[in-house]
Homo-oligomer: A and B are copies of this chain.
Amino acid sequence: MDQLKDKLRSNNVNKLDYQLSLEDMPTQWFNFFPHLPKPLPPVRDNGKRSTLEISQLIRPKILLEQNAPKENWIDIPEEVINKLIMCGRPTPLRRALSLEKHLKTPARIYFKREDTMATGSFKLSTAVAQAYYAKQEGREILISETGAGQWGMSVALVSQMFGLDARIFMARCSLEQKPYRQHYMKMLGCEVYPSPSTKTECGKELLLQTPGHPGSIGSAISEAIENALDTPGSAYLSGSNVNHVHLHQTLLGLEVKQQLSMAGESNVDHLVACVSGGSNLCGFMMPFLPEKNSGAKIDMLGVESTASPRLTQGTYEYCRSDVAGYTPEVLSHSMGESYIPAPVHVGGLRNHNSSPLVSLLCREGILRAEALDEFNAFKAGQIMLKTEGILVAPESSHAVAAAIDLAEKARIENKESVIVFLASGNGFLDLQGYNDVLNN
């Protein structure tokens, strides 16, 4: 017994989790924009109605400022910190010892556990900040879209935390595939509409054009913005794509850097995340940009879904993120505004375009992209569950698959690579999807 206590004391038992104490958690967001090789290209305001004006109406003012922050570090308000702690920040970084053993790889694999957040995904970290600023401005109802539902769950939860109402437009096919996420939002008193819906004009039009339209993040964004414009006292929030979201998510990478240092890793070879709008990827990887700019060989890899392979097969062009023209035209890798992705279970990766930031990172060779089909991603998720005992979200399973590939390459090359991937969410509410894909 004393022997075992000694082992626990000297960390000779399996040390898996690297966890920050509260006093070490980041209290500022990292402004990575000055570290980009070139500024983000300007947006085009070509709509029937000024998208800039729309944005100023529906978004809290300070969030617009945070799209292009002036300071290098941006203080996080104390109330936001407190709510982030309540939601599960800081999250652990775990060494994937069992996965390494299974793969017989000399690589050291770590994963950031955003699956431990209260709603089961990383989305909460920006939801808290956005709801806080909305409340500060006296807004009373939060309106947003959601794809697979992780973002919607987060908006629903923070609305309660700040005593606000919430209304969510959710891509119809995702809502039908993942009814539990809708149940969760409704338990929190949140209104949920399948998109396209008959609640908005643009929803009605989409249904007229394409009866049985499965919906997409693009259709849901359009409906949420139209509804926010029509709802006095509302704030429109974004779950991804826009700059202030990427900024808020830098907490992920800032934590990881400290945690890698706790684990005794001075270098990292590969950072891997799934990518759509890319806020999980950017929040995770952008804090490593200064090191990369200083010559550190860090391979940044984004894994998208073959259901919408914008970065690997799309066109770099001006297009909108929504289908109805409420958002500005942004220069981004896109499948085209009219592209309807197949109704895969990976609802979080179904955007028709990526964000300007992710697209720029790809164009400039900072970010490497791969596209992966659902079956192979889900198989990797199954390996992760069988070895590490952790069920990640279908989106995150894309990152797992790529990390496994890199670890196998390291085995062949007999190289002690350090691979860090992001478990952006948990997969408990996606078990129907896992079952459909793996067993049918």
Question: Which among B22, B98, B188 is the interface contact of A8 at CB below 8 angstroms?
Answer: B22
Q: Is the CB of B14 within 8 A of A85?
A: yes
Across-interface contacts of A263 in B (CB, < 8 A):
none
A54 within 8 A of B: no
Q: Is the CB of A160 within 8 A of B22?
A: no
Q: Is the CB of B428 within 8 A of A86?
A: no
Q: Is the CB of B189 within 8 A of A4?
A: no
Q: Is the CB of B385 within 8 A of A82?
A: no
Q: Is the CB of A439 within 8 A of B116?
A: no
Across-interface contacts of A98 in B (CB, < 8 A):
86, 161
Across-interface contacts of A160 in B (CB, < 8 A):
386-387, 389
Interface-located stretch among A178-186, A234-242, A273-281: A178-186
Q: Taking A1-B75, A13-B78, A22-B15 as contacts, is the C-beta distance between A87 and B389 under 8 angstroms?
A: yes
Question: Which among B17, B187, B386 is the interface contact of A189 at CB below 8 angstroms?
Answer: B386
Interface residues of A in 104-134 (CB under 8 A from B): 116, 118-120
Across-interface contacts of A382 in B (CB, < 8 A):
187
Q: How far is the CA of A112 from the CA of B367 in the complex (A)?
A: 42
A209 within 8 A of B: no
Interface centre among A11, A119, A180 (most CB of B within 10 A): A180
Interface residues of A in 2-21 (CB under 8 A from B): 4-5, 7-9, 11, 13-17
A52 within 8 A of B: no
Chain B, Cβ-Cβ closest to A438: B187
Question: Which among B14, B27, B188 is the interface contact of A82 at CB below 8 angstroms?
Answer: B14
How far does the Cβ of A191 sit from chain B's closest Cβ, in whole Å? Answer: 13
Q: Taking A382-B187, A389-B87 as contacts, is the C-beta distance between A81 and B13 under 8 angstroms?
A: yes
Across-interface contacts of A23 in B (CB, < 8 A):
5, 8-9, 11
Across-interface contacts of A14 in B (CB, < 8 A):
82, 85-86
Contact bitstring A141-163, B, C-beta under 8 A = 1, else 0? 00000000000000001001100
Q: Taking A428-B429, A431-B180 as contacts, is the C-beta distance between A86 and B4 under 8 angstroms?
A: no
Across-interface contacts of A387 in B (CB, < 8 A):
160
A284 within 8 A of B: no
Q: Taking A186-B435, A431-B180, A435-B183 as contacts, is the C-beta distance between A389 and B86 under 8 angstroms?
A: yes
Interface residues of A in 28-81 (CB under 8 A from B): 28, 73, 75-76, 78, 81
Across-interface contacts of A439 in B (CB, < 8 A):
186
Across-interface contacts of A27 in B (CB, < 8 A):
1, 4-5, 8
Q: How far is the CA of A16 from the CA of B435 in the complex (A)?
A: 36
Q: How far is the CA of A385 from the CA of B188 in the complex (A)?
A: 7
Q: Is the CB of A431 within 8 A of B389?
A: no
Across-interface contacts of A179 in B (CB, < 8 A):
431-432, 435
Q: Is the CB of B5 within 8 A of A11?
A: no
Contact bitstring A379-391, B, C-beta under 8 A = 1, else 0? 0001001111111
A207 within 8 A of B: no
Interface residues of A in 164-187 (CB under 8 A from B): 179-180, 183-184, 186-187
A316 within 8 A of B: no
Q: Is the CB of A13 within 8 A of B180?
A: no
Q: How far is the CA of A424 from the CA of B89 in the complex (A)?
A: 22
Beyond A86-B388, A87-B389, list 6 extra A-B contacts (CB 8 Å). A15-B22, A86-B98, A118-B390, A161-B389, A179-B431, A428-B428
> Can you list 15 contacts pairing A with B, beta carbon distance less than 8 Å?
A1-B73, A1-B75, A13-B81, A13-B82, A14-B82, A14-B86, A86-B389, A87-B389, A116-B116, A179-B435, A180-B429, A183-B431, A183-B435, A184-B431, A187-B434
